[in-house]
Amino acid sequence: QVQVVESGGGSVQAGGSLRLSCAASLYPTYSSNCMGWFRQAPGKEREGVAAIWTGAGSTYYADFAKGRFTISQDNAKNFVYLQMNSLEAEDTAMYFCAASPFTRCRLETWYLRSAYRDWGQGTQVTVSS
């Protein structure tokens, strides 16, 4: 059974950085998948943060993430990372990794929950001001 596992969350002060990692076990190495990061703050809807198509490294970002967050990949290990810099209190949320195997990310849908099949349990990010 495919598992998606996130790690790297924690507590940081405003202006600080964190790097989240996501591993999708049982996906063939070097396979082309759409991998996304979502977040959900208390009382709010889950929203797309960034996505990457591991086939060509194409990336997609929510407006609030542009210039501060970077999504990257390690195809040999089936890992995807989210580097988050200049963190703000508003970035406090549970962050989820999502995966859609053998699927190319699309500009029109990468931020939709329905575009992904497999989900992790989430990792908490807390930013204090």
d(CA 44, CA 3): 25
Side chain identity at residue 119, one-letter code? W
For 3-17, how does the pLDDT look when each residue is reduced to its tens digit (9 = 90+)?
899 999 999 999 999
pLDDT digits (tens, 9 = 90+) for 26-56: 787 778 999 999 999 999 999 999 999 999 9
CB 125 within 8 A of CB 10: yes
Cα gap 57→55, rounded to integer Å: 6
Q: Could you tell me the two tokens for 125? A: 């990010």
CB-neighbour burial class of residue 66 (10 A; exposed 0-12, middle 13-18, buried 19+): exposed
> Which pLDDT score is estimated for 90?
97
Taking phi over 0 as left and psi of -120 to 50 as alpha, with beta for the rest, 26 belongs to left
